Amino acid sequence: MKKFLTSMFQDERGAVSHKRMIGTLCTVILCIALITKVTVSETLVHAVEGIAIACIVGTTLDKFSFKESSLTKENGNS
């Protein structure tokens, strides 16, 4: 279980992805706040929601972004 949870927050290279951690943390906090019916300002809820969405979308875009080819690296082109 621990291996699964740590792999969930790693990117393709095996490094810790802060976007995944922050997105998950924001989602968990929102769920807890809404389930326990804690009184929170609407602006704060929208801000945390926006951060969570931005992190999850950013992680998804990283997954499908185009990687630099090895040929480009060998030629020294950027």
Residue among 3, 58, 8 nearest 28 (CA): 8
Stated pTM of the model: 0.61
Angle (nearest 5°) at CA 15 between 14 and 21: 115
Q: Is the pLDDT of residue 72 over 70?
A: no
Q: Is the pLDDT of residue 73 over 60?
A: no
pLDDT tens sequence across 57-67: 887 877 777 66
What are the residues whose beta carbons fall under 8 Å from the beta carbon of 17, sequence distance 6 or more? 9, 10, 11, 59, 62
Q: What pLDDT shows up at residue 36? A: 87
Bigger pLDDT: 70 vs 4: 4
pLDDT tens sequence across 14-56: 777 778 888 888 888 888 888 888 788 888 888 888 888 888 8
